[in-house]
Structure 1
Amino acid sequence: MRGAEEGQVAIAARNGARARPFDIRFQPSAGRLIPHVESFYLAHIDAPCIEGVERVDLGQWRFCLQGGGAVKFPDGHSETTLPVVVNGPGTAHWTYRIEGPFRCFGISLRGIGWRTLVGRPADQVADRLVDGGEIFGPEVHALHAQLRELDTLEAMVAAVEPFLLRRIDAARRVPKAHIAFLRIVREWAASGDPTIDALYDAMEVETGMGQRQVQRLCKEYFAGPPNHLRRKFRAIGAAMRIHQGAPLAEVMAPFADQSHMINEIKHFTGQTPGLLRDSIDPVLAITLENEKFHFLPDVIPETVDLGRR
């Protein structure tokens, strides 16, 4: 889940006959956290049983404060939710079933933040739930207990920020070549219908990286090779446009045909184009209807000093 306007707390709420009542609030990161954290969010779903779908996304760090259940991943295996969990960038959509009411405080990580805060290659933790205690140590469970006692997103962000800054200070500096890599991937993915050769050419010109190094970094940061990234960005971009009302004929251009488009969108979002417009999962809808829920790797203001930790 991603995004809020700079300097604001964004609020989204839905209540419909078929939708489960929920609200979700967002707060962008600030100061030294900007290169590492895209946004914080607090979600509350007031229902006894919650079933839904989550599209592929970038890295997420979540504190489950109330409720729990199971997640079913693309390969068919299921895992039980944990009090503190890290979700790596996925390879396809996954589904969940939660016993509610459910309350969750989450952190959407940028690519740089994935490396500094989590520090594990994304392809090694893709399509699974990773125990936060395994990555962050026992202190994170005390933080979880503290967050459970708080009521507002603002208070939770204030509680977690010192922990994040300590983690960043202790991490190794992200190589400048990796920062350039993330920027080039973003520009490449945003170019419409990018080719793999265009990515390799841009990397070689600006960084001197060869194809194998680009492939390795794509797996390390995004859990898949460049071609998988291309498919993911193309499908999520198309899903966003369809949900926001764009004609199918306009959206279909980057795909071989309509069947190809439908299959790719369903693979990465769990929804067909028809469902995206008419009866979309309400939580998924929030991640598609606002451009600030960006599916590209990094959107960092130019004024931010990436050389600082």
Structure 2
Amino acid sequence: MERDPRELGGAWQVSQRHRFIAPSADLARYVDRYWVVTWDYERPYRQLVVPLPNVHLTFRDGHAEVHGPSSSHVYRELTGSGSVFGVAFRPGMFRPFLDGPVARLRDRMVDAATVFGPELPDPVDVVSVEGYLRVHLPVADPEAERAGQMVVMIADDPGITTVDALATRCGMSVRRVQRLFAEYVGIGPKWVIRRYRLHEITERLADGVDIDWAALAADLGYADQAHLSRDFRKIFGEPPTSYAQRYGSFEK
């Protein structure tokens, strides 16, 4: 199958715009960022979406949805003109809004009314969405903060490559870490560790760094390069070198 040239070298930026906005101080405990995507395509475009361990609340065309953490990449078809306003919650910090473990949202989308009620912000912008969230602010949950801090620890420390290492660093049992992630993050600690370590590969490729794949696979705890490539493809949708082609230099 011939590859869509709009995927290569950042060409997708011709038809899409991405904007990221920091939350107000009183909501920063829960919200990582707001994001706005707009697009204009004469013919449909198959957008690759790579997962992170965030829960997202999205607003589009008068509808609001909660998207749980995904265990693998997904594709969204973008056609014509449109836009989405999104709220990316900090990993672990959506659980206080939810009456149940975040694991039940894994690889799922639900109507936002099941969590926040039927009212929607109007218009959909940062001011109105923040007002909407403040109406529904939950009671503080120290375990949510703990889970969120552990995800930050994983993201910031390339030396964490196993759940055992994470559990030791946090002074917890492996089973306790697994239960905490199921309840608050919605996806397992092993997946989160692999996601961030594999992301570092994309950064090296983008920087043009030569990679010793066999050595890297061993450093990341894989049995061999084939297992690393399999995990990368599941999360990012294609082999590392193919994925890197999406983000070459682009000039408007």
Superposition TM-score, scaled by structure 1 size: 0.67
C-alpha distance in 1 between matches for 2:77 and 2:40: 14
Equivalences for 1:116-155 in 2 at 5 Å?
A: 116-140=96-120, 143=121, 146-147=123-124
* Preserved contact between residue 36 and residue 116 of structure 1 (Cα < 8 Å): no
Match of 2:164 among 189, 194, 197: 197
CA displacement 1:101-148 (0-9 Å, x = unmatched): 1210111110353123445422101112111122111112xx2x522x
**Residue 225 of structure 2 is aligned to residue 245 of structure 1:** no
Residues 232 and 268, structure 1, Cα contact 8 Å, conserved in 2: yes
Q: Matched residues in 2 for 1:220 and 1:99: separation?
A: 36
CA distance, structure 1, for counterparts of residue 99 and residue 236 of structure 2: 27
- Tell me, which stretches of 5 or more residues in structure 2 are unaligned? 1-7
Q: Which position in structure 1 is the counterpart of 2:150?
A: 184
**Corresponding residue number in structure 1 for 2:5:** none
Deviation at 1:189, TM superposition (A): 4.6
CA contact (8 A) 1:116 1:167 kept: no
Aligned residues of 2:57 and 2:64 also touching (Cα < 8 A):
yes
RMSD: 2.9
Equivalences, count: 236
Q: CA deviation at 1:18?
A: 6.6
CA 118–53 in structure 1, closer or farther in 2 if over 3 Å, else same: farther
For structure 1, the 5+ residue unaligned runs are 1-13, 67-82, 148-155, 286-309
What is residue 184 of structure 2 aligned with on the other side?
221
Residue among 47, 52, 65 paired with 1:52: 47
Once the 2 structures are TM-superposed, how far is the Cα of residue 198 of structure 1 from its aligned partner?
1.9
Instruction: Decide which of 213, 229, 233 is 2:196's aligned counterpart.
Output: 233
Q: Which runs of 4+ in 1 moved over 6 A?
A: none
> Percent identity of the aligned residues?
24
Q: How big is the shift at 1:98?
A: 3.4
The 5 A counterparts of 1:1-309 are 21-48=15-42, 49-57=44-52, 58-65=54-61, 83-140=63-120, 143=121, 146-147=123-124, 156-168=125-137, 171-175=138-142, 177-194=143-160, 195-204=162-171, 209-249=172-212, 252=216, 253-254=219-220, 255-279=222-246
Matched-pair contact (CA < 8 Å) for 1:84–1:131: yes
SS at match of 1:127: coil
In 1, the alpha carbon distance for the partners of 2:85 and 2:100 equals 22
Which AA in structure 1 matches 2:233? K
C-alpha distance after superposition, 1:183-204 (max 9, x if no partner):
2343245322422222222333
| 8 A contact 1:193–1:234 mirrored in 2 | no
The answer as to whether partners of 2:163 and 2:174 remain within 8 angstroms in 1 is: no
Shift of 1:223: 2.4
Contact 1:117 1:164 in 2 (8 A): no
User: What amino acid does structure 2 have at the position aligned with 1:31?
Assistant: A
